[in-house]
Structure 1
């Protein structure tokens, strides 16, 4: 019996030659961005296999932002995601590169052949937001040598990172300088960034000489969206006779939930409870009261991610160093934090 004919594609040629799918596409398009030798070998092999690419030749590149949405439902950008996307867009606009977005629930991303989907969308590289290092779709991109860069969460060798320890340190110092000595921290346990902020927060408390039990990690008995968690945290704070006077929320959605529950319960923010979170975005600045925040450079992270993806795509080098971890410099103090009122 004759062996079935192997299906030929840009991806299968990329695996055969040990290069990325976009490189094969360029070689087939006779792009001078690929060496003459590789162009000749790829085109000769394609002719031998009778392969003609279906993708039209393009004169511009495309960087696609992939959003790992995690939650079923309508497409909705979280606060920091919007800033990261804006940074990617800024880079693409400067370089006259096409910009696109693919947003899917993580289960759909896990089930699809992401490399094939990105190629179908004419994407040459991807910036991925909210990925976890163990995601199968990242393995798909790596095995097919498709250029990608993650923002904050992802494989260390492919991820733009932030000095999250410093975020926690700045948050703790801001609250201590306001006179608070009984402080809580609410974090997203499943996120590397939140873990780093927690460690920085706790270490800063020790350096400040706070008592061992001065910092409380708040884990609500009922889980849900960040907003719902914020509501539950304040309910439990009241039920436990208000054991702390200030809280740092690594997610602004949790902080927003706390403010909402405070209104319903008649709790005065910040005279009864100071609330601090992350990200200088419009919704935090316009909250009631306006939220104090550690200013995270999310837009810069998006710009650097797109820039690094572009360098991977266009460089002849097989090893391109990631930018150093981004740093944070200050807390923007607003009306949600205030000096501790002495009894």
Structure 2
């Protein structure tokens, strides 16, 4: 029986046969010079073997994917670390990226008929969207789906639906590790300076903190837990309130580097020495931690890797590949510097 007509090859099948990304195939077809010679030869061989022919029968320019990355706070050290990972990955995969801030009207509430963020992105030929540490409503997520815009969220403050694709860190494990480090140093009155109460990453760090206390047989004291925005001003306010307690903490686990720096300033204003009188540990390991006085002990998030993974995940969504998981968590790590030390003797403060 004669074989049926051969199925037309697509860019995706060429990319799979050559073992490269879709943007790399696009670069070869468009005659771009930024492709290694060996890689170019692989792609050209796959094009010949699969008898690839553009749908109109002649070579056309295939534009690279264009994606948006949106931050709540574009100039924070956290954002800059994530952005570096994103730009490294987009350069590797030949993706063009537009960087911006969360639209004010969008961050204030659900999408309205007058404010069609998703439609605006689609009309500007965006292929997908990465959102960093922002709060999204269910209506916003649904609007991206309706517009056919793949979405990946990095370190989400909330997940309005379980199927939203996200990249984060092991926040709960990081919370345990931070608190256990302070417990090993002899601290028992350990405070938690958290982020917004509804932020899932902050809640996970808080739960890790509580689990470590329970495992060590240390009673949880709700008076030692305070919440605010991830930033120096709120960290300063939280530090002031904690250190004004009749029985202040001897150590503070802050849910971000910027929050920790605010706590350090609150201690300085009270004449407390760090770490002799108060130990402080942060979460992120941005350049703030390394430049702090004293240098900050932290739970390191692999922020650049989170950016790279988000790009790779978004590219899979754009090309229709199946994801192994909708949620990826990268491992955190304790980095000990000079802001933590043994608990002060009873009555020494």
Matched, 1:67 2:71: yes
Return 5+ residue gaps in structure 1 as ranges: 1-25, 27-38, 44-55, 70-75
Give the RMSD, CA atoms, in angstroms: 2.7
Deviation, 1:312, is 1.0
TM-score computed with the length of structure 1 as normaliser: 0.74
Give the equivalent residue in structure 2 for 1:176: 183
Of 189, 200, 203, the residue aligned with 2:211 is 203
Give the equivalent residue in structure 2 for 1:22: none
Contact kept, 8 Å, 1:183 with 1:216, in 2: the verdict is: no
1:40-70 deviations in whole A, cap 9, x for unaligned?
A: 9xx9xxxxxxxxxxxx97521112202244x
Alignment of 1:265-304 (within 5 A): 265-304=270-309
Of 300, 322, 325, the residue aligned with 2:325 is 322
Structure-1 separation of matches of 2:129 and 2:229: 30
Deviation, 1:313, is 0.8
Give the equivalent residue in structure 1 for 2:87: 89
Identify if the C-alpha distance between structure 1 residues 264 and 217 changes in structure 2 by more than 3 Å, giving closer, same or farther. closer
Contact kept, 8 Å, 2:306 with 2:330, in 1: the verdict is: no
Deviation, 1:330, is 2.5
Contact kept, 8 Å, 1:63 with 1:123, in 2: the verdict is: yes
Q: Aligned residue pairs: how many?
A: 281
Alignment of 1:1-343 (within 5 A): 59-69=63-73, 76-108=74-106, 110=111, 112-134=115-137, 136-153=139-156, 154=159, 155-157=161-163, 158-188=165-195, 189-213=197-221, 216-219=223-226, 226-315=231-320, 317=321, 319-322=322-325, 325-343=328-346
1:106-147 deviations in whole A, cap 9, x for unaligned?
A: 424645322232234432111111232425432210222211
TM-score computed with the length of structure 2 as normaliser: 0.73
Return 5+ residue gaps in structure 2 as ranges: 1-25, 27-53
Identify if the C-alpha distance between structure 1 residues 229 and 105 changes in structure 2 by more than 3 Å, giving closer, same or farther. same
Deviation, 1:329, is 4.5
Structure-2 separation of matches of 1:136 and 1:224: 24
1:52-97 deviations in whole A, cap 9, x for unaligned?
A: xxxx97521112202244xxxxxx4323222222111111111121
